[in-house]
Structure 1
Amino acid sequence: MSEQNDWKKKLTHELNEYFVNFLYLSLFFCVFTTYRRLLMAEYDISYGDYGISIIKALILAKVVMLGDMLKLGRRLKDRPLMYLTLFKTVLFTAWVLLFHMLEITVSNLLHSRGLAGAVHEFMDQFPYELLAHLLIVLFAFLPFFAVRELNNILGEGKIRQLFFSSGLLEKTASKNVRRNDG
């Protein structure tokens, strides 16, 4: 019975983590979709690929979890939070690039265009579209990993408590004042 409870707890934890990752990334990508939509509306071009933003967030949330399962970025865990955050941001952005390249390759293989078609498609995207996509992912990951690593340092759920529990900030502030006075 204990193994089944452990399995359920782990599954619940993984699903919650996936949902939080997805929620953050989908909000971030939907904001960029809205930005693009508003820019294009100025030229009477309709744009509303919110579905693509949601699908991208679903995939990236899983890619992040796979990177965590492979323990990417763990070697700097004893460094200051700033270094760890920047390192994980760059590392996971490169991880996303790797998955993007894999996606292009598989797509071209499935459509009988082979590896040459994958290389051609990748190089067509390279200068502008791919760099823009990577910049968006990089800046989406920066606050994402800062908050996640801070949560790891403070303890699981502490940031959630700080944001959503009333009176907790007052208690924490009064403890800090007493600590500094003593």
Structure 2
Amino acid sequence: MSDAPSPLHAVPAQGGSHRLRQRAAKELRSITVIVVYLWALLALFDLYRTIILDEAHVSLQEQGFAFINALVLGKVMFIAEALNVGTRFRDRALIWSILYGAFTFALVLMIFHVIEHVAVGALHGQHVAESIQVYERGGWKGLVARALIMFVALIPFFGFREVSRAIGPKTLHRLLFERGAKFPGPDA
């Protein structure tokens, strides 16, 4: 009989909980960036819609809904990223990875956006087409226009993500936020 403790009673390495906290902090920062970016985007959509519809006031309720929507869509985007959605062209030139990520996530976000508004419409006794029409004020044309705007708006988001992946997040942070920082490449 061996004197070694059984694996069931093994004490985890001291660094294990530290790594877990680091990973949790990294994921919290990641989802916070996603939610803030989406919230700004959705809040601006609602503000733009308010201006276009010539409404005299900016509804705080609409702006609050944009934040809740950003939380939900941010979680969807975070999960989709964890499932490697939109990574098909990661081995190609960065531009293709950026455009494919923006396109894929614009589709994912629009699908969940439609599902959300259909569900809200169903709660108010509306049919699918009616709930989309009422919300979008332009039916399918409005939905397609919103999807295209979302695609274009996500290009910078994925641009930063892919450049950060390529050169490293610390290097990107230094280049963006440190005065006089230069890229340590052959042209630097």
Letter matched to residue 85 of structure 1: I
- Taking every aligned residue pair, what percent have the same amino acid on both sides? 24
When residues 98 and 27 of structure 1 are mapped into structure 2, their CA distance, relative to the original with a 3 A threshold, is: closer
Partner of 2:57: 46
Partner of 1:176: 187
Partner of 2:19: 6
Does structure 1 residue 121 correspond to structure 2 residue 134?
A: no
Structure showing greater Rg: 2
Q: Deviations over 1:105-132 (max 9, x none)?
A: 55466x396xx93465347654233223
**Within 2, Cα distance between the matches of 1:31 and 1:97?**
16
**Within 2, Cα distance between the matches of 1:77 and 1:14?**
21
When residues 25 and 13 of structure 1 are mapped into structure 2, their CA distance, relative to the original with a 3 A threshold, is: same
Partner of 2:177: 164
**Within 2, Cα distance between the matches of 1:157 and 1:58?**
26
Query: What's the secondary structure of 1:138's corresponding residue?
Result: helix
TM-score for the superposition, normalised by structure 1:
0.76
Calculate the aligned-residue CA RMSD, in Å.
2.8
Runs of at least 5 residues in structure 1 that lack an aligned partner in the other structure: 178-182
**Within 2, Cα distance between the matches of 1:50 and 1:136?**
19
TM-score for the superposition, normalised by structure 2:
0.74
Per the TM alignment, residue 153 of structure 1 is displaced from its structure 2 partner at its CA by 0.4
Letter matched to residue 148 of structure 2: L
Partner of 1:67: 80
Does structure 1 residue 23 correspond to structure 2 residue 31?
A: no
Query: What's the secondary structure of 1:71's corresponding residue?
Result: coil
When residues 38 and 134 of structure 1 are mapped into structure 2, their CA distance, relative to the original with a 3 A threshold, is: same
Per the TM alignment, residue 25 of structure 1 is displaced from its structure 2 partner at its CA by 2.1
Query: What's the secondary structure of 1:75's corresponding residue?
Result: coil
Q: Is the 8 A contact 1:36 1:47 kept in 2?
A: no
- Tell me which protein shows more helix as a share of its residues: 1
Does structure 1 residue 143 correspond to structure 2 residue 156?
A: yes
Aligned residues: 170
**Within 2, Cα distance between the matches of 1:86 and 1:15?**
25
Q: Is the 8 A contact 1:25 1:140 kept in 2?
A: no
Letter matched to residue 131 of structure 2: E
Query: What's the secondary structure of 2:58's corresponding residue?
Result: coil
Per the TM alignment, residue 73 of structure 1 is displaced from its structure 2 partner at its CA by 1.9
Moved more, 19-28 or 98-107: 98-107
Runs of at least 5 residues in structure 2 that lack an aligned partner in the other structure: 1-13
Q: Is the 8 A contact 1:25 1:57 kept in 2?
A: yes
